[in-house]
Amino acid sequence: MNDDQMTKTSKPMDEAASTVGSLASDFRAAASHKYDEAKKQAQTMADDAKSDVADEVNDVASALRRASEELRTGSAQERTLAQIANTIADASDSIRDKDLGEIVAMISRTGRRNPVLFLGGAALLGFAASRYAKASGGHTHSPESQEYERKTAQHSDFVSEGNPNTQPVVTTP
């Protein structure tokens, strides 16, 4: 191949390489943009969840405060409930003020130092989460459960109306 032919051949290859490089650069930029959007959305969702948890913990603290106010003033139970309520309220503020990474690190350290406290807290958190899910979940039933309820009601009606085993036995004198 002579120089003229090589120049003619290399020019389209250079253009193709440039186009591929440009496409790769555009793809990296688009992927980076989508990653940043997803990261922001995940952070927003995490902050919302953190705020919801902090609100729930604060509600528990308020309930304990109300319970302590109903007890006899100065009693050991009243002081204990007030102290627990204050500790839980501080935890709520701590949850609200820290970012997610700090909360995870704090939980991890606590779990290593005191596993019994960690397991108890996890159980308590599980109960609170199930209560929250049950309270916030709609009472919509799946089509299968609606069909089951309809058939069960239909069966009950049939059994109570015409089942000879449920009818009183009448004897004639």
pLDDT beyond 60 at 157: yes
Confidence of residue 168 (pLDDT cuts 50, 70, 90): low
Asked whether 149 and 141 are in contact (CB, 8 A), the reply is yes
Confidence of residue 107 (pLDDT cuts 50, 70, 90): confident
Q: How far apart are CA 158 and CA 164, in angstroms?
A: 11
pLDDT beyond 70 at 137: no
Asked whether 61 and 89 are in contact (CB, 8 A), the reply is yes
| Boundaries of every domain in the chain | 30-97, 99-134
pLDDT beyond 60 at 6: no
Reference 63, options 1, 131, 123, 118; nearest CA is 131
Q: What is the mean pLDDT of residues 68-90?
A: 85
pLDDT on residue 156: 66
CA angle at 159 for the pair 157 and 165, rounded to the nearest 5°:
155
Q: How far apart are CA 93 and CA 153, in angstroms?
A: 50
Question: 128 vs 162, which has greater pLDDT?
Answer: 128
Q: What is the mean pLDDT of residues 134-158?
A: 68
Confidence of residue 155 (pLDDT cuts 50, 70, 90): low
Mean residue pLDDT across the chain: 78
Q: What is the mean pLDDT of residues 60-76?
A: 84
Question: 1 vs 112, which has greater pLDDT?
Answer: 112
For 25-34, 102-111, 130-139, which range has the lowest pLDDT when averaged over its residues?
Answer: 130-139
